[in-house]
Structure 1
Amino acid sequence: MTVVLSCNSSTVPRAGQSILRINGYYRAPSAGTDWTCPAGRGERFWYWQVNNGRSIICASAA
């Protein structure tokens, strides 16, 4: 389940364990391309293919 909260919120929703910040929405790379989501040094990130695999949403721990 996903909970969306205000960007100026100062608390994590009670049922939530972490907050992910959406870093970007990108065109999916060509098959076989070595690509990762932009992230800070040592920052963990997650990504999801959307738009029938044509796009990627990147997120990192807030």
Structure 2
Amino acid sequence: MGLIDKLKNRTQRGKGRAKENAGRESGDPYLEAEGRKDRIAGGAKQVGEKAKDAAREARRTAE
């Protein structure tokens, strides 16, 4: 399940970056802000996935 979640997070970050750039190019501050929000949310989720991976690895090495 972790790989699929990581791909979803990267996709969300990519879509957010595209929205942010589109908003910047078109002069639409709302689209730019929405893109920034999506990009940051995807990044935060990615950090959570990395923390889960680190916890799994710690448990595996402790056994």
- TM-score bracket, normalised by the shorter chain, equals under 0.3
TM-score, normalised on structure 2? 0.25
* Higher gyration radius (CA): 2
Q: Whose strand proportion is higher, 1 or 2? A: 1
Q: Whose helix proportion is higher, 1 or 2? A: 2
